[in-house]
Chains A and B, each alone.
Chain A
C-alpha cells in the first residue's frame, strides 16, 4: 500500500446488506452467495457504487471478475 493510495479510493459506504462469515465452508449462505472460498470476515452483500476505473483495471489484469449483486 503505497502512500499515494488512499483507502478512500477503494472503499465506499454505499452498500447494502452485510454478512459476517464465520465458517465459509460449512455455511449454506456462503455457498449461495459464492462466498464459500472467502476468508472469514464481514462482507457487504451488494455494493451500490461504481468501481473506480483503475481498480477495475487492476482486477481485470488479475483475471478477477466482479460479480454484482
Chain B
C-alpha cells in the first residue's frame, strides 16, 4: 500500500487521504500494531506540533488520543477532529479493540466506494496531476542493475565509508512501521516549512521489534528527525551501525514468510490449547488466519450440562478452571453427553463432524486461529508428542492408522517443512543456490559459531578468496560413491556410501544396517570413517537383549533417534517382529546370572554362543550363533543376513544344534559345541558329537572358527565321512575337559591328513582357557597384545586366569601388567615351536587335540589323538577372523572342486580370494604351519605321538577369544600372523569349514582327509602337493591335489564340476555357474596374460580369447592368438575396480547370478553394484564379481 503524497499537498489534503486509508484498513484484518501505526500516521501535523512537548511519556494523553478505536467511524470526524477529541478519548477507554479481530471486513470496500464516490471529476484530475508531478523524476526501475547479479552487481554496492550511515534508534515495540511512516511525513512537512530534515531513509524490519534504522550522514540529522516523535525514544539516542553490519540492517529476514505451510507443525501460543501441538491444514495469509488440526480439550459433559442461564451469560462458556486432557475426538462421546453431533461431508476421506461450533475431522478438532497465535516449530516435535498426536488418526474410519511408530518415524524425516536446518562442516562441497554466485560450486572453509554464516571458496579458476554466505544460500552436494556421515535425523551418526542422488535427497547404503536409507543432503557430511554401529539409547546398547514386557523381550537391532528397533521373540524367522520402542517402552536390559540353557529339537542343550541350524520354514538350513536365549526363544546372529542386523528370533525347538546328530550324545555335543563356540567366536559350533562315528564335529569346529560359514550345511556329512573326525569328536565329548580341545580339532582330525593339522591349529583356539584346568597353558609363552592400552607390546605370560593374563612386557621390564585374555595373541615364538610347547600338558589327552586336524586327517580312525601335534595350530587361529562384517557371508563359497579322486584329500581351498583380506590373512597364518613342516606328515601317521604333541593347542586358546571379540578380522590377522601378505593364499582356514558342511563330502569315503588338506595347506602347499604331511597319509594323493586350486583362491568349486561330484557340492548359500563367465576378463594361467571368455559352459570349460588389458585402453584382443580352451578353475578372474562393468559370477541366490551392472563402490570386501536392468543396488562380496569387457 504505497502512499502517494506530494510535497505540495496541504495539510488538509493529507489528512483526508489518510483518513481514507484508515477506513480501508478495515479490510485487511491486520493486527493492532498496524492499525495504530496508520492511525498515528494520520496526524503528522501533530507530530510537528508536538516537537516541544514531552513526547516520550507513554501515558501521555496526546498519545492516547491518537489511539482511536476501529469501531469508531473516522470518516465522520474528519471534518472537525478537535471537537471530537474528548469523546474519542473516552471511547478509547471503553472499547478495547486491541486484540479483537475486525469483524466487519466487508464494510471496508463499502467505505471505500463511498469515498470514491465523493471524489468528483475535479478530484480525479487533481489526482492525476499529483501523480504525474510525483513521478516526473522517476526514471524507471533500474532493471539493468537488478538483472546484473554478477559479483560486481550487488557486491559493488557494499557500503563504503563515504556512504551515509545507518543509525539504530529505539522505538516503541510494535510501532516500528508507524515510526518510519511518521519520519517520512515529518520530512514532507518540515520540507514545506523550509527547514528540511536531512535523513535519507528509515527502515523498519519485522524481525527487529523495538528498533528502526535511520539513514543519515550525521547523528545530529537523525536526532533532529526523531525529536518529537512519540513512537521513537529520543532519549536513547541513535547508535551508529558499523559498516559491515549495514547490509544486514536492510536485509529482510524472509524466513518467517515461508515456513507456514500445510502440514507444518506448530504450537499454539496461548489459551486453552497453550503449548499444544497442532498441524496446519490451511493457511490464509491474506486474512492472517491459519486452520489447524489438533487434539481437542473440550469437556462435552460440562458443555452439555450448562444451564440456560449460564449460556446466556456467556455463550461460549468460560475457560474451565482445570484444563481438560487433550483427547482424540470420538463422536460417541459427544452423543452420550447429549450433544447434537452432525455429520458433515467427509473431508479428504475423513469423516467430518460438527458439535456445536466445533468442527472435527477424523479424531482432530479443526480450529482457525490468527497466524500470530501460533509458533512454527523449528525442529521436529518429539517423537512421543507426535505419536500422541497421530493417535487420533486411528480412530477415524481411516484405513491406515498412523499409530504405528515406525510409519510415523518414516514420515518425520521426509517432511521437510520443519526439519532442522542443514549444518555445514569445513570441507563440505556445496553449490551456491542463491545470490550473485548462484550455481557455482564451492568448498566450505568455515562456519561461524551459530551456524548462520558459512565461509566458502567458490570454485572459480584463479579465485581463492573466501566468501561469506548465509547458510541457506548453499546446498550440499554429494557424488555417488562418496562416503558420508549422517549428521542429523533418524539416521544420525550413521555412515554410508552415496548410491544415488535425487535433488536434495541422497540415498545411502548404511554401514550399520546395510540397507538403503534416504537422507537429506543437508544432513550429510563427507566422512571416511565407518560408524561403529555402537550407539546407545539411554542405557541400552545396540545388540542388547532387552525386555519389553512380561512376555516379550528382544534384541536391539537398530538405534535411531529417540527410539530403538527391537527384534522380539514374538516373531518367526519368516515374519520377524521388529518394534520401534522408545526408551520408556523398554523395561530393562536382560541379564542372567546363570546363562540360560534351552533345548533344541532333539533335546540337545543349547547355550549362548552355540551354533544352531534352523530346521523349519524359509530359513531352513540357515544357521546362526545363539546370541541370546530367552524363555525358549533363541536370538541367532547370522553373519549372512543383513536384515535386522543379522539377528533372527526363532523358537529353540525349531532349531538344531549344529553338529549334534539326532542320535548323538547331547552332552558331548553341547560341550564340544560350546567349546568350539567359544573358541571360534561363537560360530562354529558344535562339533558333532556322535560318538560313534564321526568327527564331523571336528570339521565343524573348524567352521566355527571361521565364522563365515554359518550358512553352510550341516556338518554331518562330512563328519561321517571322516572317521577320524568322528573319533575326535567322541573323545571330546566324553572327556569334559577336552572341550577345549574342541571339536574343531576333532574335526580337523577327522579331516585327515596333514592338513588337518593345519586346521587343527584353527581348532586350537578352543582349548584355551575355558577349562579350569587349563589356566596355565599360556604361562611362559610370548604373546602379543593386540588391543587396549598395551596394544602392540609383546611380553611373556607370567600368570593366567580364566579371563586375564599377567604379562611381563618386553619393553617394560620388571612391571607386570594385566591384560584381558582376549587382548593377547600368541606371539610368534609359540607358533614356531608349537609342538614343543608345554601346552600339551593338560590337553594331551585331549582328544580335542586329536581332533586337530592333523591327526584326524591322517588317519581317520585313530587320528583323533594325533592331531594336536601339529605345530601349526597356532596358525589355525584363523577362526578368529570371524569377520564382523556381515558381508562376508559369501565366504562360504564353494570348495574348490576336487578331482574326484582327491576329493577326499583336498577339499578345498576355495575361498580365499585375494580380495578378501580376512581370509587371506587367515591363510597366511596357516602357511607357516603347514607348508614347511614335513613333520606333520610324520606326526599324522603316528597317532600316539600326536598325543604327545597336544600341547600345541594352547596357543589356540587365545585365538578363540580373539575371534569373539575382535571386531575386525584384520586386526587379528596382523597380530597373529606375521605375514599378512600371504593373504593371497587361499584361505585354508576357511576351507575346512566349508568343506565340512557340504553334503558332498559325506559320501566321500575319506572325507575328512579332504577337508583338512584344504585347510591345512596353503596354496603353496597345494602346489607342492608333496608336502610331507599330505603325502604321508595318502600317498598318491599329492598328485591329486591339484592343479585346480589356484593360489588365489578365486576358483571356487561349483556344483556340477567334476571335483564337486567327488566331494563337495557348493556350500549352501552360494551358487555359481561357470556359464556366467561369458564376457568376463580373466587371467590365464602361466604368464599372467589376460583373456576374455568368449564361451563358457556350466561344467567349467571355457574358451578364452587372449589379449591385453589395461585400465585406460580397455581390452585389446590379440589378433594372432586363437581362442584357448581352459578349465575355468585354472583361470583367475580379474577383479573389477570402481566404475567397472561387472558381472555376478557367484551369488547367494541364483537370481542374482549372471546379473551385470556397474561397480560403484568398494567397501572392504564388498562391492556395491548397480544392476543394469533393475537399477537395484546390491552389495556383493567382491569375490562374486568379475570384470566384464565388451
List the interface of chain A (C-beta within 8 A of B): 3, 6-8, 11-14, 16-24, 26-34, 36-43, 45-46, 48-49, 63-65, 67, 69
Chain B residue at minimal CB-CB distance from A46: B252
Residues of B within 8 A of A41 (CB): 2-5, 184
Beta-carbon contacts under 8 Å, B171-205 to A: 176-177, 180-181, 183-184, 187, 197, 199-205
* B112 at the A interface (CB under 8 A): yes
Interface string of B204-217 (1 = CB under 8 A from A): 11110000010100
The 7 A-B residue pairs with the shortest CB-CB distance, nearest first, are: A27-B200, A20-B184, A28-B163, A13-B28, A48-B257, A17-B252, A46-B252
Contact of B254 among A14, A64, A69 (CB under 8 A): A69
- 8 CB-based A-B contacts, threshold 8 Å: A11-B1, A12-B286, A13-B34, A14-B285, A20-B181, A32-B159, A43-B2, A46-B254
Is the beta-carbon distance between B159 and A28 smaller than 8 angstroms?
Answer: yes
Q: Check A37–B142 contact: CB distance below 8 A.
A: yes
A11 → B minimal CB distance (Å): 5
A21, A40, A63, A65 pick with most chain B CB within 10 angstroms = A40
Stretch of B133-141, B570-578, B727-735, B983-991 contacting A (4+ beta carbons < 8 Å): B133-141
Known contacts A20-B181, A37-B141; can you find 15 more A-B pairs with CB under 8 A? A7-B112, A11-B1, A13-B28, A17-B204, A19-B180, A19-B203, A20-B180, A20-B183, A27-B215, A34-B146, A36-B142, A42-B3, A45-B203, A45-B205, A45-B252
| Complex-state Cα separation, A53 to B1179, whole angstroms | 52
Compute how far the CA of A13 lies from the CA of B919 in the bound complex, rounded to whole angstroms: 72
- How far apart sit A7 and B4, CA to CA, in the bound complex (Å)? 14
What CA separation (Å) do A64 and B142 show in the bound complex? 10
CA distance A8 to B2 in the complex (A): 13
Please measure, in the bound complex, the distance between the C-alpha atom of A13 and the C-alpha atom of B108, giving whole angstroms: 14
Q: Does B85 contact A (CB under 8 A)?
A: no
For A34, what are the chain B residues with a Cβ–Cβ distance below 8 Å?
141-142, 145-146
**Residue B286 contacts which of A14, A26, A31, A43 (CB distance < 8 angstroms)?**
A14
- B423 interface contact, C-beta 8 A: no
The minimal Cβ–Cβ distance linking B122 to chain A, given in whole angstroms, is: 16
A67 to B200, CA, bound (A): 23
Q: Given A13-B29, A22-B201, A46-B252, are A28 and B215 neighbors across the interface (CB < 8 Å)?
A: yes
B288 contacts A8, C-beta separation under 8 Å = no
CA distance A37 to B252 in the complex (A): 20
Find residues 848-868 in chain B having any chain A CB closer than 8 Å to their own CB. Answer: none
The interface on chain B, measured as residues whose beta carbon lies within 8 A of the other chain's beta carbons, has a size of 62
Task: Tell me which of B5, B112, B201, B207 contacts A29 (CB under 8 A).
Answer: B201
Q: How far is the CA of A27 from the CA of B201 in the complex (A)?
A: 7
CA distance A3 to B117 in the complex (A): 10
Give the distance in Å from the alpha carbon of A48 to the alpha carbon of B253 in the complex: 11
With A13-B288, A20-B180 as contacts: A64 and B215 at CB distance below 8 Å: no
Report B117-134 CB contacts with A as 1/0, cut-off 8 Å. Answer: 000000000000000001
Q: Knowing A13-B29, A17-B252 are in contact, say whether A49-B286 is a contact too (CB < 8 A).
A: yes
Contact B202 A20 (CB under 8 A): yes
Q: Which residues of A contact B242 (CB under 8 A)?
A: none
B164 contacts A69, C-beta separation under 8 Å: no
- Chain B residues with CB under 8 Å of A29's CB are 166, 200-201, 203, 213, 215, 250
Q: Is B377 close to A, CB under 8 A?
A: no
- Find out whether the CB atom of A17 lies under 8 angstroms from the CB atom of B203: yes
Task: Give the contacting residue for B250; candidates A3, A11, A33; CB below 8 A.
Answer: A33
List B contacts of A64 (CB < 8 A).
Answer: 141, 143
Docked Cα-Cα span, A33 to B183, in Å, equals: 19
Measured between beta carbons, the chain A residues less than 8 angstroms from B176 are 18
| Min CB gap B1034→A, angstroms | 86
Q: Is B890 an interface residue (CB 8 A)?
A: no
Q: Separation in Å of the A13 CB from the closest CB of chain B?
A: 4
Which residues of A lie under 8 Å from residue B3 when comparing CB positions? Answer: 41-42
Does residue B157 face the partner (Cβ distance < 8 Å to A)?
A: yes
| CB proximity of B95 to chain A, nearest CB, Å | 22
B147, closest chain A residue (CB): A65
Complex Cα spacing A13 to B116, Å: 21
Among A18, A63, A67, A69: residue with most chain B CB under 10 A: A18
- CB of B404 within 8 Å of the partner chain: no
Whether B180 and A18, one on each chain, are in contact in the complex, defined by CB atoms closer than 8 angstroms, is yes
Q: Is the CB of A13 within 8 A of B201?
A: no
**Cβ B1 vs Cβ A22 within 8 A:** no
Binding site for A on B (CB under 8 A): 1-5, 24, 27-30, 34, 109, 112, 116, 134-135, 137-143, 145-147, 154, 157, 159, 163-164, 166, 176-177, 180-181, 183-184, 187, 197, 199-207, 213, 215, 246-247, 250, 252-254, 256-257, 285-286, 288
Tell me which of A7, A17, A38, A49 has the highest count of chain B C-beta atoms within 10 A of its own C-beta: A17
Q: Is the CB of A39 within 8 A of B109?
A: no
Contact A7 B257 (CB under 8 A): no
Taking the closest CB of chain B, its distance from the CB of A25, in whole angstroms, is 9
Contact A32 B247 (CB under 8 A): yes
What is the bound-complex CA distance between A19 and B199, given in angstroms? 13
Closest approach, in angstroms, between the C-beta of B245 and any C-beta of chain A?
Answer: 13
Q: Tell me which residues across on chain B come within 8 A of A17, comparing CB atoms.
A: 203-206, 252
* A23–B281 alpha-carbon span in the complex (Å): 44
From B29, B197, B201, B257, contact of A21 by CB (8 A): B201
Alpha-carbon distance between A68 and B213 when the two chains are bound, in angstroms: 22
Bound-complex Cα distance A25 to B30 (A) = 32
* A31 B157 Cβ-Cβ under 8 A: yes
Q: In the assembly, what is the distance between CA of A41 and CA of B176, in Å? A: 16
A7-B24 in contact given A23-B201, A41-B184, A42-B184 (Cβ < 8 Å): yes
Least Cβ distance of B7 to chain A in Å? Answer: 9
Partner of A65, one of B141, B180, B203: B141
* Bound CA span A3–B200, Å: 36
B181 contacts A42, C-beta separation under 8 Å:
yes
Q: Are B257 and A46 in contact (CB under 8 A)?
A: yes
- Are A13 and B200 interface neighbours, CB within 8 A? no
Contact of B201 among A8, A12, A20 (CB under 8 A): A20
* B contact residues around A23 at 8 Å (CB): 199-201
A31 neighbours in B (Cβ, 8 Å):
157, 163
Residues of A within 8 A of B1 (CB): 11, 13
Residues of B within 8 A of A63 (CB): 143
CA distance A67 to B1 in the complex (A): 17
- Give CA–CA (A27, B184) in the complex, Å: 14
| Docked CA distance A62–B1138 (Å) | 56
Residue of A nearest to B207 (CB): A16
Q: Which residues of B contact A69 (CB under 8 A)?
A: 252, 254
**B280 → chain A closest CB, angstroms:** 16
Q: Determine how close the nearest CB of chain B comes to the CB of A27; give it in whole angstroms.
A: 4
- Collect the chain B residues with CB atoms within 8 Å of residue A7's CB: 24, 112
- Nearest CB to that of A13 among chain B residues? B28
A6 CB contacts on chain B under 8 angstroms:
109
Cα A48 to Cα B139 in complex, Å, equals: 26
- Bound together, the chains give a CA A43 to CA B252 distance in angstroms of 13
The distance in angstroms between the C-alpha atoms of A14 and B256, with both chains bound, is 11
Contact A27 B164 (CB under 8 A): yes
Can you name the residue of chain B whose Cβ is closest to the Cβ of A32?
Answer: B157
Which B residues are in CB contact (< 8 Å) with A18? 176-177, 180-181, 203-204
Task: State the Cβ distance, B833 to closest chain A Cβ, in Å.
Answer: 80
Could you tell me the distance between the alpha carbons of A3 and B119 in the complex, rounded to whole angstroms?
12
Please indicate the chain A residues that have their CB under 8 angstroms from the CB of B215 in the complex: 27-29
**Closest B-chain residue to A20, C-beta based?**
B184
- The answer for the CA separation of A19 and B154 in the assembled complex, in Å, is 19
The distance in angstroms between the C-alpha atoms of A30 and B254, with both chains bound, is 19
CB distance from A66 to the nearest CB of B (A): 10
- Given A27-B200, A28-B164, A29-B250, CB of A13 within 8 Å of CB of B142: no
- Complex CA gap A34/B27 in Å reads 31
Task: Give Cα A31 to B159, complex, Å.
Answer: 9
Q: How far is the CA of A65 from the CA of B205 in the complex (A)?
A: 24
Q: Whole-angstrom distance between the alpha carbons of A37 and B138 in the complex? A: 6
Q: Using Cβ atoms and an 8 Å threshold, which residues of chain B touch A21? A: 184, 200-201
Q: From known contacts A39-B134, A41-B4, infer whether A16 and B142 are also in contact, taking CB-CB under 8 Å.
A: no
Q: State A20–B188 Cα separation when bound (angstroms).
A: 12
